[in-house]
Structure 1
Amino acid sequence: MIWDFNFNLPTSIEFGNGTVNNVGKRAKELGGNKVLIITDKGLAQTGILKRVTDSLEQEGVSFLVYDEITPNPKDVDCVKAYEKFKDENIDLLLGLGGGSSMDTAKAIGVLFTHEGELKDRYGFNLLERDITPLICIPTTSGTGSEVTTGSVITDTITKQKEAILDLKLAPKLAIVDPELTLTLPKSITAATGMDALTHAIEAYTSNIAEPISDALSLYAIEIIAKYLPLAVENGNDLEARQNMLVGSLIAGMAFTHADLGAVHAMAEPLGGLYDTPHGVANSIFLPHVFEYNIPSNPEKHATVAVKLGAKAEGKTVEEIAQEGVVLLHELASKIGIPKFRDLDNVDPEDFEFLAESAFKHLCTITNSRKLSKDDYLKLFQITYGMKMQHSS
């Protein structure tokens, strides 16, 4: 195969235990005189926020805190923060938390530096200039948003998740400290870890994957498959936490360059409609989409299966890939991911709408196998445990 590709990583990465204590120095180096910290109320009540603010205070950097971030961040929340702080002379943003905090910080940066509404920027390369300088500090091993060039925001009018995708959105610095993930509850560890695994698998099997993203994806799959059950079982296992954070980080680098596929095309409409946690939605659809995609590239799917722990000896490529499906189901079950049917507010009457939304999603274009709206409908039905039906 002959590739043509570009690989651009505009974010500097500082990884290690205790690196959060350097944030004050790094903020000053980036010219930060007044920092807006974007986080959630849960983190604001832990010692994690205090470690950040102590470091800023030590370096004489002033700061304000916006702690009203919710899962699946919404456009109205971004606007609310912008309106509250637009006259405060903020010159540095700091996203502290999971993907919701970091994506919201990016969107606030867009509002600080661009006229108009967020919806004017949904899509590829629609920013005219860099956003307000941004430091991201992840506290989950999931989204990789600390190194991605995208921000996913729920449009509260259409109930759809939308994406702003642009290099100008990239954080200037990612401070990646495994110690900050030690307090993460089992359920969030599981869901965010499966989100990272989905990123790695979809990036590897994407129809625009390239050699660097492949290398990153394969390593991420291998270490996430090994360490995610350990991190869920014992949240204080620092080795597991370190490896999960590396896996999440490099999976983020991989999908920034290779994009994603039908799992995200299905999961994001589900999150937009029902507010389902993103990692849970990905986990639910991942085995089913993986199985659907096998015919498009059996070799790559078999390679994923081996990284997940499948035994290859004496089997055909297709049989190895099918073992990957089994292993993905087993992993989700082992770490306590709920079934699609067990989610509280899912209504099969909505599957037509969800299938239409998935079909229109940007990730459909880069999925390894072509899908129609009807294919998506069948996948929603199969995942829910319904008999396959054809849409009218």
Structure 2
Amino acid sequence: MLTATKPFTFTLPTDIHYGPGVVKELPGLLKSEGIRQVLVVTDPGIIKASLLDVLDLLLTEAAVNYAVYEQVSPNPRDTEVETAARMGRETGAQAVIALGGGSPIDCAKAVNVLLSLGEEKIKPFEGKGKVPRPLLPLYTIPTTSGTGSEVTFSSVINDTLNQYKMTVKSPYMAPRAALVDPEMTLDLPDHVTASTGMDALTHAIEAYTVNVANPISDALALQATELISASLVQAYQQGDHLEARSAMMLGSLLAGLAFSHSDVGAVHCMAESLGGRLDLPHGLCNAILLPYVMTFNQPACTARYARLAHAMGCSFSSDEAGAAAAISRVKELSKMVELPSFSHLRISPDDFEEMAVMSANNISTESNPRPMTKDDYLAVFQQAYAGNGTD
């Protein structure tokens, strides 16, 4: 447990605008900065859902010209970052707008690094603290309730040459403003609601249990856990339910704030190796792996899992029973939103050894509440594939 004598810092560079309809504040924000040309970073799903039309009206109102890079993959690639940055330079972009889920937002952050610094390649910025100075304004408009990327200052990008996910992290990458509007999620497909919602729950649970948590991230993570666990199923079953969508959006936002000022743990290390190796959706990987990692971690954070179980509405008589209840509740939520099992992903056990090595080398492994070796990761991958270890 944390004590009040443990020092920490908490920096929040992003202005948060939250609420139904808040996306309409974008023209005023752009006008206040004197911005006349922007680069919009998005993906094909956003185009298909006609959400770019909403942005077009807002940019027209603000008398802002824009170019659109719309080819972001579910796992954004370094090549996409570099192509989009070239588009931004060629069109004279003064700012970047990210429209979409975590993939376009992460891509846009990395794009802004190259665009602002006049660089061609994102690889040299891998790691922490490699961005040397402030960047151009970045505005984020999330369309899912999952990643919290709209308020974080890191970006996870696929290194296509080496087939793994690299992280670029710097406070300079934080968006200038995040327009967090639940109405932008009302038409989200149910399977995306499921995977991104469980992704947000993963962020909250890991932020609360890693060994670098702090009192502010704890408060955010617990509130996020309560909101998400209470509203995910309704948002999944009734996609147009604004109250449920709003609770999910707020929960995702709070979870993003929590883990960006704490960290994530072994779930993300495994999901990033899985997604980087096999190009699987990050949120889905997190969601499926979560209960298996919780089972492994339980001996190291029993009391914290019990506190999370309380936030999820569980009743229990001891910390041990509470920890078990938390894991059971996560499994129950996954079933209620019909997530596939790990073995149903297009994955072969032959890949586990390599992915275990990648997971162990992830920078967030050191934050996991229970130390994990390559062999530990391998064992959890095998348990997840067999469907064992969470009953």
> d(CA) in 1 for partners of 2:278 and 2:377?
18
| Residue number in structure 2 paired with 1:353 | 354
RMSD: 1.3
Once the 2 structures are TM-superposed, how far is the Cα of residue 147 of structure 1 from its aligned partner?
Answer: 0.3
Aligned runs of 1:326-341 on 2, under 5 Å?
Answer: 326-341=328-343
Once the 2 structures are TM-superposed, how far is the Cα of residue 48 of structure 1 from its aligned partner?
Answer: 2.0
| Residue number in structure 2 paired with 1:124 | 128
Once the 2 structures are TM-superposed, how far is the Cα of residue 47 of structure 1 from its aligned partner?
Answer: 3.5
| Residue number in structure 2 paired with 1:34 | 37
Letter in 1 for 2:340: P
1:375 matched to 2:379? The reply is no
Letter in 2 for 1:101: P
1:324 matched to 2:345? The reply is no
> d(CA) in 2 for partners of 1:256 and 1:113?
23
> d(CA) in 2 for partners of 1:75 and 1:136?
20
Once the 2 structures are TM-superposed, how far is the Cα of residue 22 of structure 1 from its aligned partner?
Answer: 2.0
Does the 8 A contact of 2:82 with 2:120 survive in 1?
no
| Residue number in structure 1 paired with 2:68 | 65
> d(CA) in 2 for partners of 1:75 and 1:276?
16
> d(CA) in 1 for partners of 2:387 and 2:213?
33
Deviations 1:262-298 (A, max 9, x none): 0000001101111111111011110111111111121
Letter in 2 for 1:63: Y
SS in structure 2 opposite 1:79? helix
| Residue number in structure 2 paired with 1:231 | 235
4+ runs deviating over 4 angstroms: none
User: Please, what TM-score do these two structures have when normalized by structure 1?
Assistant: 0.96
Once the 2 structures are TM-superposed, how far is the Cα of residue 172 of structure 1 from its aligned partner?
Answer: 0.2
SS in structure 2 opposite 1:271? helix
Q: Percent identity?
A: 43
SS in structure 2 opposite 1:60? coil
| Residue number in structure 2 paired with 1:16 | 19
Once the 2 structures are TM-superposed, how far is the Cα of residue 49 of structure 1 from its aligned partner?
Answer: 1.3
Does the 8 A contact of 2:27 with 2:59 survive in 1?
yes
Deviations 1:168-213 (A, max 9, x none): 0000000011110000000000000011000000000010100000
Any stretches of 5+ residues in structure 1 without a counterpart?
none
Aligned runs of 1:133-148 on 2, under 5 Å?
Answer: 133-148=137-152
SS in structure 2 opposite 1:265? helix
Does the 8 A contact of 2:88 with 2:115 survive in 1?
no
Letter in 2 for 1:230: Q
Does the 8 A contact of 1:113 with 1:129 survive in 2?
no
> d(CA) in 1 for partners of 2:382 and 2:45?
35
SS in structure 1 opposite 2:252? helix
User: Please, what TM-score do these two structures have when normalized by structure 2?
Assistant: 0.96
1:251 matched to 2:252? The reply is no
> d(CA) in 2 for partners of 1:361 and 1:298?
24
Any stretches of 5+ residues in structure 2 without a counterpart?
none
Number of residue equivalences: 385
Once the 2 structures are TM-superposed, how far is the Cα of residue 116 of structure 1 from its aligned partner?
Answer: 5.2
Aligned runs of 1:302-321 on 2, under 5 Å?
Answer: 302-312=306-316, 315-321=317-323
1:100 matched to 2:91? The reply is no
Residue 281 of structure 1: which of 269, 282, 285 is its match? 285
SS in structure 2 opposite 1:258? coil
